[in-house]
Structures are given as structure tokens and as C-alpha cells.
A and B are shown apart, each in its own frame.
Chain A
Amino acid sequence: AQRVTQPEKLLSVFKGAPVELKCNYSYSGSPELFWYVQYSRQRLQLLLRHISRESIKGFTADLNKGETSFHLKKPFAQEEDSAMYYCALNNNQGGKLIFGQGTELSVKP
């Protein structure tokens, strides 16, 4: 079964500390993975996707097929990074996007 797991409901760090939000997936094919972010009182929006291999707002994510992971990382957290983060998997079945449970990131001053 296709599944996305984000093991941490809440991650709290201090400003300037490194951040890693974990995402593990279960999928038999070649996955397409995404990170979406929801800032307070804003809409859910795409942060980055693995095929783009881009860095957005200092965040990066590398697909590790051996560990079936797509962890989101940032070397120095900022207070404005506080938000809800969702990892998502496209299972290539008619466009279904499967989301993880979400991790709330809190960056303290």
C-alpha cells in the first residue's frame, strides 16, 4: 500500500538551529515526492518537489530510495519558518496525491 509517514507531530527548535523534518514513504514504483507548507492563516502551498532538485527559502530535500525517505532540511531555522509541513507522494494513478500526517514546526526566538 502507498503510504507517507511523518513521525513527528511537532518539532520545536531555536532560531539558527538546523532543522530536519522527516518523511518516509511506502511505494513500489518510482515515486514523485513533494513538500507542502501551510503558514498561519495562509493557504496550503507547494514548497518544493524532488524532481526540481531546488532549494526554496533555504530548504532542501533529497530523495533516498534506499531508505525510502524524503526528509526536509534547513541549516539555520528562522522564526518565519514556523508552519505546518506536509510531505506528499504522487502514486501515478490518475493523479492521486497522498499526504502524510503533517509536522508542525515551531521556531523559537
Chain B
Amino acid sequence: DAGVTQSPTHLIKTRGQQVTLRCSPKSGHDTVSWYQQALGQGPQFIFQYYEEEERQRGNFPDRFSGHQFPNYSSELNVNALLLGDSALYLCASSWDTSGSGETQYFGPGTRLLVL
């Protein structure tokens, strides 16, 4: 059973460029969340997708956008890159349930460096 996969593993971009990161959730999972982890800090929630809709969003500008496909995979897009966008971007998947106890499983991340 494949876990959460992300691509690419590493990426180097220059300021002003645009980037797309990809995530495939764990088998059986239908919800994908994205987090940004700056060096030496804890992950910060960007947004969550369920049924191809953005369900919740953290405190990130509109330069950060996403998409979820019918097969539950997801993309994170960042426009007009800034130096401060350099970070590890983590994708987490889960199975949407009405009760508590749902667990988010994380992928290995994509390390983005903006020069």
C-alpha cells in the first residue's frame, strides 16, 4: 500500500516565477491538506481540499492556490515567488469522517528554494 507521495522532491526557482507541486494521497484517502514548513519551524497550514473544493484555508496570500482532481490527487500552485517562499512543502492525506480520531498522514515533502 503506497503512502502519500509528492513530486518533485527538490526544486529551485527564481523570484517572480511560478511553481506547481503535486501530491498523491494514501490509498483510500479523499482529503488532502498542504503545509509549509520553514527551516527550523513547525509546519503551517496552507489549505485543505475535499471533494475537489477548498474546504479550509490558513493565513496565506492568494498567490497560493490549489486544486484537487477526481482521483483525489492534488496540486499546490504558488505564483510570483518570493525569497520567503523557500521552505519544505508537505502534503497530508486523510479519510473524511464525521467523528474525531481521523489521522493525517504526511508525504516526504518537496523542498523549494527560491533564489
Bind each other: no
Residues in A lying within 8 Å of B, measured CB to CB: none
